[in-house]
C-alpha cells in the first residue's frame, strides 16, 4: 500500500487510459447480439477486470413508445415549383414523398 | 397535375407549402404498431375558384398502408382517416365551408366507408389574406371500432395560425384555437389485421382548380 492508500495495481486506472477494451471500464461492443432483436433485457458486454473498475449492474432497459410529434415537415427546404414526388425533407420520416396524380 | 411546391410570402416571411391539386401523396413514418392514438395534422389554406365547389369534392387526410395504392387511386390498399363527404363546398367571404364537411372514413379496394359527419368545417382561402388554420384527425384504436376526432377551423377565420402554434396544438391532447372546434369522437370499424397495418401519412384532394396548400404537416403519437 503506497501513499493515499493506492498501490502499484492502481497505476493503470490513474493514467486515464481507459479506452474500450483495456479492461478497466465496462464496455459493450454489441457484437454478441443477433440482428433485429429488441434491446430491452439483454445484458452482454464485459465488466472492467480490475478490482476498482466499474461494472455493469443491470441489463438494458429500453423505453420506447414515446408520445409527441414523431414526424413533421414545414416544407421550407424545398424550392418553388418542384414536384413533391421523391422529396424527403422534414424529420422523423422513413421514406420520401410518393405522389400520385389523378 | 402533380403535387408541387409553392413558395409565398406571408407576414413578411417565406411560406413554402405542398400544393395538392387533383393529386394525393403518402409518406411512410416508422411509428410502429404499439400506438393507441395517432394524430395527423395539416396547417393549410386553399385557393379560390370564385364559385362553390360541387360534385362532392374529396379531400382526405389520414393513415394508409404503404405508399403504393393511396386514397385517391382506383384501388386503395388501406386508408383510415377522415374525408369530405359534403356534396358542395360553399364559397364564403374568405373561405370554403360546409355544415358537415368531414366524416371518418376508410377505403379498402374501391370501397369507401364513411361514418357520421363531425360538423361544420371551414378552410380559409389565401386570396383574402393569410388565415392559415389547423386540420387534424385523431385516430384511436378499438376493436372493432376505431374512434376519430376532428380539430379544424369551424367558423369565419379571424386569425392566421402560425407554424409554431400549429406544432403546439399538435402535441396538445385537447387542442384549442380561436374559431377552431375539437369535435367529439365518431367511430368506424377498422381491421388492420385483415386490411393492412397503417404505416404512412396519406393526403388526397381530387380537384384541380382549387389547390389546397399544406404549409406544414406532422404526425404525433398521443397515446
Q: Does A80 touch chain B (CB under 8 A)?
A: yes
Choosing among B3, B4, B5, which should be mutated to test the A contact, i.e. which has the most A CBs within 10 A? B5
Between residues B186 and A50, which one has the greater pLDDT? Answer: B186
Confidence tier at A1 by pLDDT (50, 70, 90) = very low
Q: Which of B145, B158, B46, B49 has its CA nearest to residue B101?
A: B46
Report the alpha-carbon distance of residue A74 to residue B5 in Å, rounded: 11
Under an 8 A CB cutoff, do A92 and B29 touch?
yes
pLDDT at site A61: 85
The pLDDT score that the predictor gives to residue B88 is 97
Q: How far apart are the first and last CA of chain B?
A: 37
B chain contacts of residue A82, beta-carbon cutoff 8 Å: 4-5
Reported confidence tier of residue B113, pLDDT bands at 50, 70, 90: very high
Taking residues B38-55, report their average pLDDT: 97
CA torsion, points A92, A98, A101, B4, in degrees to nearest 10? 50
Judge whether B206 and B68 are in contact, CB under 8 Å: no
Partner residue facing A69 (CB), from B206, B220, B223: B220
**Residue A81 Cα distances to A78, B17, B124, B220, angstroms:** 9, 10, 22, 28
Residue B78 has pLDDT above 70, yes or no: yes
Q: Strand ranges (DSSP E) for A1-102?
A: 68-73, 98-101
Q: Within 10 Å of residue B211's Cβ, how many Cβ atoms? A: 23
* B7, B25, B219 member nearest A99 (Cβ): B25
Q: How far apart are CA B185 and CA B188, in angstroms?
A: 10
Chains A and B: how many Cβ contacts under 8 Å? 125
| Distance (Å, whole) CA B126 – CA B34 | 38
- C-alpha cell recorded at residue B128: 383574402
- Phi/psi of residue B155, nearest 5 degrees: -150, -175
- Residues in chain B within 8 Å Cβ distance of A69: 167, 170-171, 218-220
Q: What is the DSSP letter of A61?
A: -
B162 in reach of chain A (CB within 8 A): no
| Section B157-164 average pLDDT | 94
Whether pLDDT at B213 is above 50: yes
Is-contact B151 B120, C-beta < 8 A? Answer: no
ipTM over 0.95? The verdict is no
- Whether pLDDT at B4 is above 90: yes
Contacts of B35 in chain A (CB under 8 A): 65
pLDDT at A7: 55
pLDDT mean across residues, chain B: 96
> Of B54, B63, B51, B45, nearest to B84 (Cα)?
B54
Is B141 in a helix, a strand, or coil? coil
Whether A95 has a pLDDT exceeding 90, the answer reads: yes
Q: The whole model's pTM is what?
A: 0.83
Q: What percent of chain A has pLDDT over 70?
A: 75
How many helices, marked H, and strands, marked E, lie in chain B?
Answer: 2, 17
> Mean pLDDT, to the nearest integer, of B36-47?
97
What integer pLDDT is reported at residue A26 of this predicted model?
84
Q: Which chain A residue's Cα is nearest to B164?
A: A74
Using the Cβ of B73 and the Cβ atoms of chain A, whether some distance falls under 8 Å is answered with yes
Q: What is the pLDDT of residue A18?
A: 46
pLDDT classification of A24: cutoffs 50, 70, 90: confident
Amino acid at each position: 500500500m503506497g501513499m493515499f492508500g493506492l498501490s502499484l495495481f492502481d497505476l493503470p486506472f490513474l493514467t486515464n487510459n481507459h479506452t474500450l477494451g483495456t479492461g478497466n471500464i465496462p464496455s459493450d461492443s454489441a457484437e454478441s447480439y443477433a440482428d433485429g432483436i429488441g434491446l430491452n433485457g439483454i445484458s452482454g458486454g464485459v465488466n472492467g477486470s480490475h478490482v476498482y473498475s466499474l461494472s455493469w449492474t443491470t441489463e438494458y432497459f429500453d423505453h420506447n413508445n414515446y408520445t409527441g410529434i414523431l414526424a413533421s415537415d414545414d416544407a421550407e427546404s424545398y424550392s418553388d415549383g418542384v414536384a413533391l414526388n421523391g422529396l424527403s425533407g422534414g424529420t422523423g420520416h422513413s421514406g420520401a414523398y410518393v405522389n400520385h396524380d389523378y | 397535375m402533380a403535387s408541387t411546391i409553392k413558395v409565398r410570402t406571408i407576414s413578411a416571411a417565406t411560406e413554402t407549402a405542398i400544393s395538392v391539386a387533383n393529386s394525393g401523396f403518402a409518406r411512410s413514418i416508422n411509428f410502429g404498431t404499439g400506438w393507441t392514438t395517432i394524430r395527423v395534422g395539416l396547417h393549410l389554406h386553399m385557393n379560390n375558384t370564385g364559385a362553390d365547389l360541387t360534385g362532392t369534392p374529396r379531400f382526405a387526410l389520414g393513415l394508409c398502408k404503404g405508399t403504393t395504392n393511396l386514397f385517391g387511386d382506383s384501388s386503395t390498399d388501406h386508408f383510415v382517416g377522415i374525408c369530405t363527404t359534403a356534396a358542395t363546398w360553399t364559397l364564403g367571404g374568405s373561405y370554403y365551408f360546409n355544415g358537415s364537411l368531414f366524416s371518418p372514413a376508410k377505403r379498402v379496394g374501391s370501397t369507401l366507408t364513411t361514418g357520421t359527419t363531425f360538423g361544420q368545417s371551414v378552410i380559409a382561402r389565401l386570396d383574402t389574406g393569410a388565415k392559415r388554420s389547423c386540420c387534424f384527425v385523431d385516430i384511436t384504436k378499438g376493436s372493432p371500432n376505431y374512434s376519430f376526432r376532428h380539430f379544424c377551423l369551424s367558423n369565419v377565420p379571424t386569425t392566421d395560425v402560425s407554424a409554431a402554434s400549429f406544432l403546439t396544438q399538435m402535441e396538445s391532447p385537447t387542442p384549442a384555437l380561436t374559431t377552431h372546434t375539437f369535435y367529439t369522437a365518431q367511430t368506424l370499424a377498422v381491421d388492420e389485421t385483415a386490411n393492412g397495418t397503417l404505416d404512412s401519412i396519406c393526403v388526397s384532394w381530387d380537384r384541380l382548380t382549387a389547390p389546397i396548400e399544406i404549409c406544414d404537416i406532422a404526425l404525433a403519437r398521443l397515446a
